[in-house]
Amino acid sequence: MTTSAKITQSGHKISLNRTWKSSPDYTPATVFKIGTGTTTVTTTDTDLETPIPITGQETVDDCETADWTDSSDMTTSLNSTDFRIGANSLNLTKDGTASADASTSKTTTSVDFTSKRLEVFIYIDDQTTLDLFETTNCITIRFGSDSSNYSQWTKDKADLSVGWNYINNLTTTNRDSQTGTHSLTASDYTFIQITATASGDTWASGKVAMDDWRVVSDDDLTKTFVSGYPSLDETNLQSTIRALLLSTEGNQHELTEYGLFNTDATPLMFSRADHTAVSKNIDTQIIYVKKIKMA
C-alpha cells in the first residue's frame, strides 16, 4: 500500500520540456527502480534512498562454501540457519584474542568492476554482539586485483544494526582509500575485517555472518514498464503505468520504495513513492500500478 507519492521537480522539468520544446532535451520516463529506503518522499528527491538490483547482478561469492582464508583470530564456517540467498551464509566468528582485528579473505570469481558497485549482506545476531564492535571503522572491506592492489571501504558501528545489514553502493568514487593499483577489469580479491573494541573481545559462531557478495551495474537497477504502458485516458486526463517484478527479481529484500525514471545519460527521476514493507522472495511477484491524473 502506497503511503506517499510525489512527482519530483525533475519530473515537472521533463513534463515542461517535452510539452513546450519542439526538440525536447529529455527522454520520457520509461523505466522504474525499487528500493529499501524509508526517508520521507519529497519533490526535491533525485533518486531512491536505497535502490536495489532487480536482475543481472554478478556473483563475486555466494558464501555457500567455507573456503576463505582466515586470520588467527577469525574462524569462518557455514551457517544454514541465518542466510539471505541459497542455503547458507558464512559465520564470521572472532574466537582469538591476539588482536582486536579479525579478518578473512578469498580469491573470488574475477569480475570487471568498471563503473560498478560492490555489495554484501552482514548479519549481527544481537545488540550484545554489536556492542563489542569498535565505534569507528569496525568493518573494513577490500576489493581488488590482489592483496597488494585494492580499493578499501570502512563502516562505523553507527552504520549497522541488529539483523541483516545491506552494505551496498561501494564504488571506486566513494572508496575510503586505495592501496597499489586496483585493476578494475580483473577484480578477484575480496577481504573483510571486523574490529572489536578490545583484543580480548570474542563472539560465538552464529553471532556474525556474511552472505552474497555481488557487483551491480547501473542497468541492473532499472526495468522497463510492462508492454503497452503507460496507457493514456485522454477523456479523464489520466495516465496509468504498470511495472512488474517477476519471482526471480529483486529478491531477499524488504521493499519500501519505487520510482519512475527516464533514460537520459544522467537519468532523471520523474516520481518517487514509498509503501508498506513487502518481503520479496521467489514465491512472489509484485505489480506496481501508478495512476497520474492531471488536475
Q: Quick: pLDDT tens for 103-150.
A: 999 999 999 999 999 999 999 999 999 999 999 999 999 999 999 999
Q: How far is CA 293 from CA 145, 233, 236, 238, in A?
A: 52, 9, 8, 4
- Note whether 191 and 73 are same-domain residues: yes
Domain check: are 29 and 74 in the same one? Answer: no
Same domain, 158 and 255: no
Looking at the fold, whether 232 and 245 belong to one and the same domain comes out as yes
| Mean local confidence (pLDDT), 267-288 | 95
Indicate the number of domains in the chain: 2
Residue that terminates a domain, selected from 190, 216, 242: 216
User: What is the CB-side half-sphere exposure of residue 101 using CA atoms within 13 A?
Assistant: 11
Residues 144 and 227 in one domain: no
Q: How are the residues of the chain apportioned to helix, strand and coil, as percentages rounded to the nearest 5? A: 10, 50, 45
User: What proportion of the chain, given as a percentage, has pLDDT over 90?
Assistant: 96
Rg (CA), the chain: 21
Do 209 and 67 belong to one domain?
A: yes
- Distance (Å, rounded) from C-alpha 275 to C-alpha 2? 4
| Judgement on whether residues 16 and 90 belong to the same structural domain of the protein | no
* Together in a domain, 157 and 170: yes
- 86/121 Cα distance (integer angstroms): 13
Mean pLDDT for all residues in the chain: 96
Which range marks the domain in which residue 226 is found? 2-55+219-293
